[in-house]
Chains A and B, each alone.
Chain A
Amino acid sequence: MAATQIIFAGFGGQGILFSGKFLANGALLEDRQVSWLPSYGPEMRGGTANCSVIISDMPIGSPIVADPDVVVVMNNPSFDKYEELLVPGGKAFIDSSLITRQAVRTDIEAYYIPATQIASDNGLDGLANMVIIGNLIRKTGVVSWDNAETLVRKIVPAKRPELIEYNLKALDLGYNWEN
């Protein structure tokens, strides 16, 4: 696989940066090249948050993603901004519990997942991001699903072991969601 350029975007607090970190660690586990670049500054405090992840088999030049292959959007402003940047044939993962419109472009693949609702229905408030990641892994294969559990165990802070189970459940719900 060549390079995959991904943008995660939403509100601060939705786990946007964590989602990117999760996939970046997945790529690292497979010994591939990876870069993770967050937005930083005042927008982190409740405004919009985004991060760019590049996963590649070749050394990565610029870590800045201008033309994403994949976008994960968790609020309306992010969808408005990143839908038009997607490359033709690119994939958009849309939290349809929070985003009220459909994709305008017809040359992209749009995946609608009511991730916030799914998380809430399953007692997994705050883990909508992981629901989407589960779905993204299934639809893109950008990292291996077989490593999901190893990854969760690696990234979830040791002080909060109860979160491992919740994260795995959220990933699983997303992976098995039929868009």
Chain B
Amino acid sequence: MSEKVLMKGNEAIAEAALMAGCRHYFGYPITPQTELTAYMAKRLPKMGGVFLQAESELAAINMVIGVSSCGKRVMTSSSSPGISLKSEGLSYLAGCCLPAFVVNVQRGGPGLGGIQPSQSDYWQATRGAHGDYRTIVLAPDSVQEMVSLTIKGFELADKYRMTSMLLADGTLGQMMEPVSLDAGEIKTFDKPWATTGTKMARPHNIINSLSLIPEELEQWNLERFARYDEAEANEVMYEEYKMEDADVCIVSFGITARVSKNAVDEARAAGIKAGMIRPITLWPFPKKPLLAAADKVKAFISVEMSMGQMIEDVELATRCKRPVLLCNRTGGVIPSVKEVLEKINEAEKIGGDRA
């Protein structure tokens, strides 16, 4: 294990991307993710890579499409309003079956919103732009996990030929924690589809998202979803915290999972059996452990920094077997440990039969 260093989340993502073999970055600065862009501006040219501050977010995501078509690892990053601008390109990436790594360090919305942390792009990240497609969504809760999930993100994108998005927030992007930059082995994947020149030895590879023949487009979508099914079957990640005997199950990701962990500990100190399931992949969503928990706990609490977005996935995953309460703040406000604790108390009082 390498020596630990103190790093900001934004910088750790950038360093991890370099470790994963990314040598092409296109972006446009925006608070609270600008340190990521700045880090790439400093490092990539010295490594023989390409750093380009595009004229707009739209330009940046289309540059990503270009580099990805050539089979190279490539990324872009932004914060909420910037990701909206990139949405068209995200759909085109999916239509072209191209891998890409995209980072969203979320801030409050909608519109220009604010610059304080938020998780209100959950729907956007897990549902995406127009058309039938999926995005792998990775939700780190520490600077260390920002490193490991960035590397994983590049690998998954290549493996399934799709976009993987790291969904962080302003707090995680700005905070510093000790981090070990020990990557281990980086997985790479053959890309026989890439447009790297035929050398007169193979037919042309064509990267395209347009088909005017409905049956053909349908077929493309079916093929896409066969890959998504595989990702859904193989790549679910989550953490269970004190769930063995839990009566109340918190579901939370990212920074609010950190707050919730403290609340679980405080609840337990007060004699309430609380636990947490922390989705690390928001898509694919950890449906199985949640459904299993629904047979054991009295109630769930979705703790999130939005008006309640992930709560819908929790209700779907648990098939509404138990009540799902919402503990939320929005607009850039982070729920406090006390607020989560109050909700745990409320959930614990919910009676009814336990299966």
Contacts and interface: CB of A to CB of B under 8 A. Distances in A.
A57 to B, nearest CB: 13
Nearest to B338: A66
30 contacts: A21-B176, A24-B6, A33-B178, A34-B6, A34-B177, A34-B178, A35-B175, A36-B6, A37-B174, A37-B175, A38-B174, A38-B175, A40-B31, A40-B170, A40-B174, A41-B32, A42-B115, A60-B177, A61-B259, A61-B262, A61-B265, A62-B255, A62-B337, A63-B171, A63-B177, A64-B259, A64-B334, A64-B336, A66-B336, A66-B337
Chain A, interface residues (CB within 8 Å), range: 10 to 19
6 smallest CB-CB distances across A and B, nearest first, come from A61-B262, A36-B176, A61-B261, A62-B259, A37-B175, A62-B258
Interface of A: 21, 24-25, 28, 33-38, 40-42, 60-64, 66
Interface string B328-355: 0000001011100000000000000000
Contacts of B174: 37-38, 40
Does more than half of chain A's interface fall in helix, strand or loop, or is it mixed? mixed
Contacts of B4: 28
B175 A36 contact: yes
A37 B116 CA distance: 13
Contacts of A66: 336-338
Interface in B242-280: 255, 258-259, 261-262, 265
Interface of B: 4-6, 31-32, 115-116, 170-171, 174-178, 255, 258-259, 261-262, 265, 334, 336-338
A48 to B, nearest CB: 15
Nearest to B336: A66
Contacts of B6: 21, 24-25, 28, 34, 36
A36 B337 contact: no
B178 A28 contact: yes
A66 B31 CA distance: 24
A109 to B, nearest CB: 25
Nearest to A37: B175
A24 B115 contact: no
Contacts of B338: 66
B115 to A, nearest CB: 5
A64 B262 CA distance: 11
A62 B258 CA distance: 5
A172 B4 CA distance: 28
B336 A63 contact: no
Contacts of A33: 178
Candidate in A28, A34, A37, A61 with the most chain B CB atoms within 10 angstroms: A61
Contacts of B5: 28
Contact of A36 (B177, B255, B262): B177
A63 B116 contact: no
Candidate in B6, B176, B336 with the most chain A CB atoms within 10 angstroms: B176
